[in-house]
Amino acid sequence: MVRMFQMPRKAAARAVLSAFVAALLASAPLSGASADDDAWPMLRKAVFGDWQIEDGKDLLFLDAPDQAEDAAIVPITVRIPPEFKEPFKALTLIIDKNPSPVAATFTFGPAAGREGGERRMSTRVRIDMFSHVRAILETEDGKLHMVTRFIKAAGGCSAPVPKESGGTDPDLGKIVIKSFDPAVDAAPLREAQIMIRHPNTNGMQRDPVTQGYFPARFVKEMLVTRGDDLVFRMESGISISSDPNFRFTYANGPENSLDVKVTDTDETVFTAKAGARGS
């Protein structure tokens, strides 16, 4: 039986605060607002309170295009180099100018891997307008470390969604899992990919037939486990692209099959399991 996992106290508090970010931004004065306005001070206060955030340039790297080819599927990767050998608790992705800026928070468990290689998390996001994108890592000692990239992209949050987006897709919720064997069997880390068939509508996309808006329905939580151990738990919002896709490293061990449980905002649960070489 899979053990129950609980978010660290600070991470849980941050998750509660982040739920109010969009409302706080919406209530802010709009007079004179522009794409150049600095939203970060308000975001920082809303999501992290008085928690100090340190420069993370020597600890983690954020790979993303300077200018996105498609604002609805912007690839981003967070990398922690092998020189940093300590475990970490959580990773938060923030897109300053998105309607709901907190894209996702990943809370890591013992199967996430601790040392011996480069740890990575990749996904694809929507970007509504030119914006700073931030990766904030919480290390085991409770400190926060941040790196930032400015990405030129616009219109990603209202871009058309997949053709079948009203829950009629027969493959809705289908999960494909791939776990890749490392080049050396004794390597401490291996890599996996999770692909979810889901429109991830955010309430901002128009139905081309009715000209109304598709109701919001998106993946809000994903639990990834290896046996009884947590790899990560993700809490996400409207900024993750349609058909969510995640590629990440996790600890290599004798048994490396993954179990995935996904819950969307309609409270529909989708599950899948794959072996170390399966998909």
- Residues 150/237, Cβ–Cβ less than 8 Å: no
pLDDT at 162: 66
* Token pair belonging to 244: 């969510």
Angle at 239 between CA 233 and CA 245, to 5 degrees: 55
- Residues 121/91, Cβ–Cβ less than 8 Å: yes
pLDDT at 6: 37
pLDDT at 37: 60
Q: CA-to-CA distance for 159 and 271, rounded, in angstroms?
A: 28
Secondary structure E strands in the chain: 53-55, 61-63, 74-80, 88-95, 102-108, 119-125, 131-139, 144-151, 175-180, 189-196, 219-226, 229-236, 245-251, 258-264, 269-274
pLDDT at 212: 84
Amino acid (one-letter) located at 243: D
Q: Does domain 9-24+38-274 have CATH number 2.60.40.2470?
A: yes
From first to last of its 279 residues, what are the pLDDT tens digits of the chain? 333 333 343 444 444 344 444 444 444 443 333 445 688 999 999 999 999 999 999 899 999 999 999 999 999 999 999 988 888 899 999 999 999 999 999 999 999 987 778 999 999 999 999 999 999 999 999 999 999 999 999 998 988 876 655 556 889 999 999 999 998 888 999 999 999 999 999 988 887 778 888 889 999 999 999 999 999 999 999 999 999 999 999 999 888 999 999 999 999 999 999 865 543
pLDDT at 1: 36
Phi, psi of 10 (to 5 degrees): -65, -40
Residue 49 Ramachandran class (φ > 0 left, ψ -120 to 50 alpha, else beta): left
pTM score:
0.85
